[in-house]
Homo-oligomer: A and B are copies of this chain.
Amino acid sequence: MNDGSSFRIATALRDWVATAPPGTRLPSTRALVAQHQASPVTVQKALRELAARGLIESRPGVGTFVRAARTARTVDYGWQTAALRAPQSRIQMVPTALRSVPNDVIALHAGYPDRELLPERLVRSALTRAARGDTALSRPPVAGLPELQSWFAHELGASSPVGVAPPTPGDVVVLPGSQSGLSSIFRALVTGGRPLLMESPTYWGAIAAAAQAGVRVIPVPTGPDGPDPADLDRAFAETGARLFYAQPTYANPTGAQWSTERAEQVLGVVRAHGAFLVEDDWARDFGIGTTPRPIAAHDDAGHVLYLRSLTKSVSPSLRIAAVIARGPARERILADRGAESLYVSGLLQAAALDVVTQPAWQTHLRGVREQLRTRRDLLVTCLRHHAPQAHIEAVPAGGLNLWLRLPDGTDLQQLTRDCERAGVLVAPGTDWFPAEATGAFLRLNYAGPNPSAYAEGARVLGEALDRSTP
């Protein structure tokens, strides 16, 4: 109901504003709350909407005012069309997985874990400590705080077998989120117009980063066992590509974890072509039934560029990730990061390091894994019961998502609209394909809020499938 009442208040306020002289102060939030019998959040939402339309302006600490009517003039930005020309590549703006939604819908579309899966107490106390520390007012080195570089290197190095040199702290470049790492890697190591091999389906953010970098994407089909090494070998040979982007552990969206043998085969193909594997280890903290086994730990010749993020497991506000790379590749990535943003906030780095070095962090992670197991199993059960038409190709051993194959010919647009109308948000699989989708897929996230609504969500999906299937 939240949405509805903020719309009602916004409409009432717009009428009021239309007759008020510019500069008139609006009633306080408290007064509006009383007048409209709504929550402060709802009133503020209405005010924000009016502000976004330029009808009112808030002066923080002073109040909210009717804007001068001088904004009424319509400005034509048509001249910009000539100046900007058609874009070199179209970047898809805000995919389903990033949508923010009201509290009362059943959100199976999201890409981020719900707050109850985050280490709230650890995050708040780490930030409070960091607020008192040196990093609150200083500038860290471009590559990151040495202590944090050391933590990232040690975490990966702990998986290195005997005979393989583990990464050193100097191999680590700290990032403001792994998305920035993808952008830098594609920009600095592939460069515009040249080929990039990607698993298909794969993370939509990687597809967006590739579009931004202006590289030519060559999809390599992947499934529950990972890509076929022969397919990969052929793609390298045919295109002259030098870089393959993949998620070998609990891949988003398929949930696939490559076997040790498959990982060795893929690494062998990459080596044979004198190429790089970008190992996006996004779900390192979200193993449920198996343990993550980073491929990067088996490579000391600089073939694997390893991406590790803390954003999803620690907090979306502590956007800290790292790329671990060796040789000239690492230098190019670092130079790109320097030009892009000079350095990463030292405060966020210090707070993230604080969280992951507390003994309670490991306890928290164990709890999260148990919760993910319960949630995953519950969603699987509900789907099998209420939406048997949706085929779960493989129950993932980790990660946050189920990947469903729907009956051939399912109208995905119709389906997602039907579900949304019934208060259930799902993500159409098309977002995860760098080219045409090879079927009708759906990604459902089992890390969102309110797992007790899974049964209802599955029921709505099952009914919508009945209507959308030919």
Contacts and interface: CB of A to CB of B under 8 A. Distances in A.
Interface in A169-183: 169-170, 176-177, 179-180, 183
A168 B60 contact: no
Interface stretch (A1-9, A91-99, A446-454): A91-99
A340 B329 CA distance: 19
Contacts of A136: 123-124, 127, 315, 317
Contacts of A224: none
Contact of A51 (B70, B150, B191, B300): B150
A438 to B, nearest CB: 24
A353 B61 CA distance: 11
B77 A326 contact: yes
A338 B93 contact: yes
A242 interface: yes
Interface in A45-99: 48, 51-54, 57-61, 68, 70-71, 73, 75-77, 79-84, 87-88, 91, 93-94, 98
A359 to B, nearest CB: 8
A132 B348 CA distance: 15
Given A84-B242, A84-B332, A93-B338, 11 more contacts: A51-B169, A53-B170, A70-B163, A70-B166, A71-B165, A82-B274, A87-B188, A88-B191, A136-B315, A176-B341, A177-B342
Of A94, A120, A127, A188, the most chain B CB neighbours within 10 A belong to A127
A153 to B, nearest CB: 7
A214 interface: yes
Nearest to A88: B191
A127 B137 contact: no
A102 interface: no
A177 to B, nearest CB: 6
A80 B327 contact: yes
Interface stretch (A32-40, A204-212, A250-258, A461-469): A204-212
A341 B180 contact: yes
Interface in A222-269: 242-243
A195 interface: no
A118 interface: yes
B77 A339 contact: no
Given A136-B315, A315-B137, A75 B338 contact: no
B127 A130 contact: yes
20 contacts: A52-B170, A54-B170, A61-B359, A70-B165, A75-B300, A75-B326, A79-B301, A83-B242, A83-B276, A98-B142, A127-B130, A127-B136, A128-B128, A138-B316, A179-B342, A180-B340, A180-B341, A183-B340, A211-B339, A317-B348
B164 A208 contact: no
A87 to B, nearest CB: 7
A357 B60 contact: yes
A166 B79 CA distance: 19
B302 A347 contact: no
A221 interface: no
Contact of A115 (B77, B138, B211): B138
